[in-house]
Amino acid sequence: MKFDLELSAINVTGKYFDCVQVDGCNFHFSQCLYRKVQALGVVSLYQPKTQEKIELRTHVRKVTALVHIPVAEIGDAWLDVIEQAPESSVHFNDYVCRAAASE
């Protein structure tokens, strides 16, 4: 089943239908990450006009693309993404780490 990242619906489905694979919607996941970029105040950096802005935009897109990697390989892929991360993405990366750790 696909959900639009509504945690309550995901939790209830997983609790009562343990044979169902629950997936989040990639569109809503991407929107969630972009809203976090806005909340952190780096949205002005996200507009691609300078090299720093282009690097941040590329970084956020790489993080968004991690959902397409097999689960067993996400840890290594995340480390690769972090190694190439621009300095302006530190708070965003912290958020992603906290969110992933809470899963």
Kindly list the domain boundaries of the chain, sorted by start residue.
Answer: 2-101
Q: What are phi and psi of 47, to 5 degrees?
A: -70, 120
Q: Are 63 and 81 in contact (CB under 8 A)?
A: yes
Q: What is the pLDDT of residues 4-35, one digit of tens each?
A: 555 666 666 667 777 766 666 777 777 888 88
CB count in 10 Å sphere of residue 6: 12
pTM exceeding 0.85: no
Q: What is the pLDDT of residues 52-79, one digit of tens each?
A: 888 888 999 999 999 888 889 989 999 9
Q: What are phi and psi of 69, to 5 degrees?
A: -95, 140
Q: How far apart are CA 87 and CA 67, in angstroms?
A: 23
Q: Are 56 and 42 in contact (CB under 8 A)?
A: yes
Contacts of 73 (CB under 8 A, 6+ apart): none
